[in-house]
Amino acid sequence: MEYSSTQDGTKCEFSFRGKFAFADNDSVRNIIEEFKSSGCSHCAVQLGGLEEIDSAGLGMLILISDAVKEDGKSIEFCSPNGQPQKMLEISKFADIITIKP
């Protein structure tokens, strides 16, 4: 998976592209560290560029969400489509994380 990030002072946005799988564990650590050091109060993760996500990728979404929330900050996952959207629906992820269309 590749990602890019932007900040506007209160909001960090991360855009994911490609395939999100176990091999992306180091990237997830970097994302968490980048958000925590940013001083932002809200995190938005754009999933529209993801082509594929596996079970490890789903687990890492929870890790990102938990890390943001443990600091009392808010997070949302946005615009999933295709296979990632189906994986999120099948696993009922909307019950545990905020997913916006």
Domain ranges (residues) in the chain:
2-100
* Mean per-residue pLDDT, 43-65: 98
Q: How confident is the model at residue 9 (pLDDT cuts 50, 70, 90)?
A: confident
Angle at 83 (CA atoms; ends 78, 84), nearest 5 degrees: 30
d(CA 73, CA 91): 24
For residue 43, the surrounding DSSP H or E stretch is strand 42-53
Class of domain 2-100: alpha beta
pLDDT of residue 25: 96
pLDDT of residue 76: 98
pLDDT of residue 53: 98
The chain-wide mean pLDDT, for the chain, equals 97
- Residue that is written with structure tokens 């998976």 in the block: 1
pTM of the shown model: 0.95
**Percent above pLDDT 90 for the chain:** 99
d(CA 14, CA 27): 11
CA separation (Å) from 51 to 42, 63, 72? 25, 20, 31
For residue 18, the surrounding DSSP H or E stretch is strand 11-20
